Amino acid sequence: MRWLDEQPARSVIYVVFGSEASAPLTRRHVRERELGLELAGARFLWALRGPSAALLPDGFEERVGGRGVVRVGWVPQVRILARGAVGAFLTHAGLSSLTESFLFGHPLVMLPLSLDQSVTARGMEERGVALEVPRDEGDGSFGRDDVATTVRRVMAEGGEGKAFARNARKLQAVLWNRAKQDEYYVDDLVDHLLRLRL
């Protein structure tokens, strides 16, 4: 948290892929993600969990020279996302992660690990709040250049990056609007349940 608080506003991409238990990444996936983060040149905080934590090659933190931090194990995700230094989130596109990211108005770089996450990722792209890292349609592989390019596009200070951030802040406003949440979602749910009873 100290390192994060020392970084400029919206300059860090937070990287985490849930527990990774349901679809662990291969050594090649972790390596390509690692090299993509290096190539992107962006500051990052990478929380590695589950089986892929053992796949990170030695010397990675030294090579990124303080521009990136890797933590193995649990991290306080919501507290991290609430920090002003965080500007985007590289995620597997799980629904909990998406919701937490949008609570703080962060656009996404997505690398889905399962089918439902792929469907969610496409929806987020259509809303203009995220980009999915391109993958090979045959085997689902991705490369470091694809990771780097996608991170740069979402983290860009102007143009496209600015549009992703603006659209993510619009979703943030909807999520924090308690009256709208109650009116549209809770009331609709109650009405639906009452109709089912009849």
Both tokens of 180, joined, read 């709208």
pLDDT digits (tens, 9 = 90+) for 21-76: 445 567 788 889 889 999 999 999 998 876 666 666 678 778 888 899 988 888 99
Domain range summary for the chain, segments of one domain joined by +: 2-197
C-alpha span between 175 and 194 (Å, rounded) = 25
What's the pTM value of the predicted model, to 2 decimals? 0.85
8 Å CB contact between 73 and 56:
no
Closest CA to 150 of 142, 139, 158: 142
C-alpha span between 75 and 56 (Å, rounded) = 17
pLDDT digits (tens, 9 = 90+) for 61-86: 788 888 999 888 889 999 999 999 99
CATH number of 2-197: 3.40.50.2000
